[in-house]
A and B are shown apart, each in its own frame.
Chain A
Amino acid sequence: QQPVQSPQAVILREGEDAVINCSSSKALYSVHWYRQKHGEAPVFLMILLKGGEQKGHEKISASFNEKKQQSSLYLTASQLSYSGTYFCGTGRFGGNQFYFGTGTSLTVIP
């Protein structure tokens, strides 16, 4: 029931774009995205609810395809500060399940 993230790791140069995918085998109601820097707590990026809406914050945005049970996180014009491990978390209908993906390590180099 743990969502699957891809890729597992990616290295980018500053200014390049990246896409991180999150797929579930179960019907989803919500998808969360978090970023964790080494030695720090995961930090919330955004939550998407069913309806296929897309959300964005500056150069980071995400989409949620309810029918495909997938979400994608888009990072455009990456900055060094984007480095970290990105986790998706999924919520299902009925509410109380908490499942996170295994994470995607993203490294931005100058």
Chain B
Amino acid sequence: KAGVTQTPRYLIKTRGQQVTLSCSPISGHRSVSWYQQTPGQGLQFLFEYFSETQRNKGNFPGRFSGRQFSNSRSEMNVSTLELGDSALYLCASSLASGMNTGELFFGEGSRLTVL
């Protein structure tokens, strides 16, 4: 079956702009979680959506937002981009919500560069 698909794979933006990233989970998976990956910081949790509802949110400013559609596809948006937002953004899907319920399937990520 098809894996987790993230688009776009690479993008370059300038400070102050906004960006929208998309994540299509594995068919049948209802949970999508988002992570920011930077060197030395590992995977930082942004938020998780399950059945179109945000279930949990990490410690990121309100400039980072997300949503999930009825087909489980998810988008995340970052407004007023800062240089420090440059990172690889990963999404992961799973059948159920939460870390205690099973494995996460990751996409290859969207690499954002902010100039």
Contacts and interface: CB of A to CB of B under 8 A. Distances in A.
Contacts of A103: 42-43
B90 interface: yes
Interface residues of B, number: 29
A96 B97 contact: yes
Given A95-B99, A100-B35, A32 B104 contact: yes
Nearest to B92: A42
Contacts of A95: 97-101
How large, as a class, is the contact surface on chain A? 20 to 34
Interface stretch (A43-51, A65-73, A74-82): A43-51
A96 B45 contact: no
A89 B44 CA distance: 11
Given A99-B45, A102-B40, A91 B90 contact: no
A43 B106 contact: yes
A47 B48 contact: no
B102 interface: yes
B102 A101 contact: no
A2 interface: yes
A101 B42 contact: yes
Interface in A11-32: 29-30, 32
Contacts of A49: 100
A71 to B, nearest CB: 13
A58 interface: no
Nearest to A44: B103
Contacts of B56: 96-98
B109 interface: yes
Given A34-B104, A34-B106, A47-B102, 14 more contacts: A30-B99, A32-B104, A42-B104, A49-B100, A87-B43, A90-B99, A91-B100, A96-B97, A96-B99, A97-B56, A98-B48, A99-B45, A101-B42, A103-B43
14 contacts: A32-B103, A41-B108, A42-B92, A87-B42, A95-B99, A95-B100, A96-B98, A96-B99, A97-B56, A98-B35, A98-B99, A99-B45, A103-B42, A103-B43
